[in-house]
């Protein structure tokens, strides 16, 4: 990833945080209180029409390393 892409991504993250201020707080709490190998993260998307879809992932050690790298990049 080049530096321009990283700067654009960082700017987009700033806009996302302004639009959804509780989400970064949720991520921070999750990382401090229980995001560890073997944890299950479930995501549900409900469009305006109402038909939801859900998926989940079981966190691996490599996922935790990626999350730490992303966290460092966005500080």
pLDDT at residue 67, as a whole number: 85
Per-residue pLDDT of the chain (75 residues; tens, 9 = 90+): 688 888 898 899 899 999 999 998 998 888 887 788 999 999 999 999 999 999 999 999 999 999 888 888 777
Provide the angle, in degrees to the nearest 10, between the axes of the packed helices 3-19 and 22-33.
100
Total domains in the fold of the chain = 1
- pLDDT given for residue 72 in this prediction: 81
Q: Residues 68-74: contacts with CB within 8 Å, 24+ apart? A: 71/31, 73/6, 73/10, 74/10, 74/13
What pTM does this model have? 0.70
Provide the domain limits for residue 45.
3-73
Q: In the chain, what is the straight-line distance between the N-terminal and C-terminal CA atoms, in Å?
A: 17
């Amino acid at each position: 990833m080049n530096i321009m892409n990283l700067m654009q991504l960082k700017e987009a993250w700033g806009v996302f945080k302004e639009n959804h201020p509780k989400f970064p707080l949720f991520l921070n709490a999750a990382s401090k209180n229980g995001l560890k190998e073997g944890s299950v993260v479930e995501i549900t998307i409900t469009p305006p029409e109402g038909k939801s879809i859900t998926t989940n992932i079981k966190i691996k050690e490599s996922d935790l390393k990626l999350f730490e790298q992303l966290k460092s990049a966005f500080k």
